Amino acid sequence: MQAMSERPGLRVYWQPGCTSCLQAKEFLARHGVAFESVNVRADPGAEAELAALGVRTVPVIARGRDYVLGQDLDELARFVGVGLERVRLSPDELVGRLHVLLALTQSLLGAIPPARLGTRLPQRERTWLDLGFHVFMVVQGLLQAAQGGELGYEVYERRAPASWLDASAAIELGRATQRGLELWWREAGVGPRGEVHTYFGEQPVDAVLERTAWHVAQHVRQLEYLVHEVAGVAGAPRIPAHALDGLPLPVAVWDRELVPQGAPGP
């Protein structure tokens, strides 16, 4: 196998269902930046290559032994030499969007046919129930970091307990997450300040808040797709357009090669 240091060009290490991975690949393609796509769950050498770089998470955008973590779109833009200017929503607006999306997640979970809750997503251990659970974990990770802890990657890897046979416990977790978000924001006063500890470095808390909002929004889009396009649940809720406006979301809901079976292509 060719040594990593000898590989030409840009390589993007990603995994199915990863919102930051999809966003990074779309960003590079949109700006005409060529790259080699490496699905770490399908490429047998990917894990060793990431270990050689000293990283364990994705997305990773590498050029030889130089790399950047793709969670920060601004950092990715600098790494590939692309200018990035965009309007950012205020922290108050982002928190408001999160409340809307958390409530919608609870409604969508309640609309999933019970027989579908344990259905696995393509190339992931994650099930439909886990996807809703993950939405709440994304916000819990923000709260953990904002309150003096650390946002660790493991919070994103958690799955709904095996004892959860229906969506009721997950829905209650969603309600509790909303209460925690409301309490944090009330105590924050005029808004978040300073930096927080994350698995991708020290980050401004407002940047982590923005990433949390669009990360959640992307997964809610996926839940909506599963409920409507795959399960065909009539009358299930839809995401209001205003809940997504202004968020730096990927265009696609799923990686094109990994659309859940039974659904039409994106």
Task: Please report, for the domain that includes residue 67, its CATH number.
Answer: 3.40.30.10
Domain co-membership, 130 together with 188: yes
Distance CA 170, CA 160 (A): 8
Domain co-membership, 162 together with 112: yes
Domain co-membership, 71 together with 103: no
Question: Which range of residues forms the domain containing residue 35?
Answer: 4-80
Residue 9 has pLDDT above 90, yes or no: no
Neighbours of 215 (CB within 10 A): 25
| Contact present, 56 and 45 (Cβ < 8 Å) | no
Handedness of CA 256, 75, 146, 205 (dihedral sign): negative
Domain co-membership, 74 together with 132: no
Q: Is residue 86 part of a domain?
A: no
Residue 125 has pLDDT above 90, yes or no: no
Q: How many domains does the chain have?
A: 2
For residue 45 the two structure tokens come to 């050498």
Q: Is residue 15 part of a domain?
A: yes
Summarised one tens digit per residue, pLDDT across range 224-245 is 999 999 999 999 999 998 999 9
Summarised one tens digit per residue, pLDDT across range 69-97 is 888 888 898 899 888 777 889 999 999 99
Which of 20-34, 174-188, 250-264 shows the lowest mean pLDDT across its residues? 250-264
Domain co-membership, 149 together with 174: yes
Domain co-membership, 49 together with 105: no
Domain co-membership, 64 together with 100: no
Which of 154, 157, 249 is closest to 198 using CA atoms? 154
The reported pTM is 0.86
Instruction: Indicate the burial class of 40 (C-beta count within 10 angstroms; 0-12, 13-18, 19 or more).
Output: buried
Domain co-membership, 43 together with 156: no
Q: Is residue 231 part of a domain?
A: yes
* Mean pLDDT of the residues in the chain: 89
For residues 106-116, give the mean pLDDT.
97
For residues 143-163, give the mean pLDDT.
92
Distance CA 121, CA 41 (A): 13
CATH number, domain at 124? 1.20.120.450
DSSP secondary structure, 53-68, as one string: HT--SS-EEEETTEEE
Residue 3 has pLDDT above 60, yes or no: no
Summarised one tens digit per residue, pLDDT across range 196-226 is 898 888 888 998 999 999 999 999 999 999 9
Where does a domain end: 30, 45, 80? 80
| Contact present, 178 and 99 (Cβ < 8 Å) | yes
Where does a domain end: 31, 55, 80? 80
Domain co-membership, 233 together with 164: yes
Distance CA 18, CA 23 (A): 9
| Contact present, 55 and 200 (Cβ < 8 Å) | no
Q: Where does the pLDDT of residue 2 fall: very low under 50, low under 70, confident under 90, or very high at 90 and above?
A: very low
HSE value, Cβ hemisphere, 13 Å, CA-based, for 239: 24
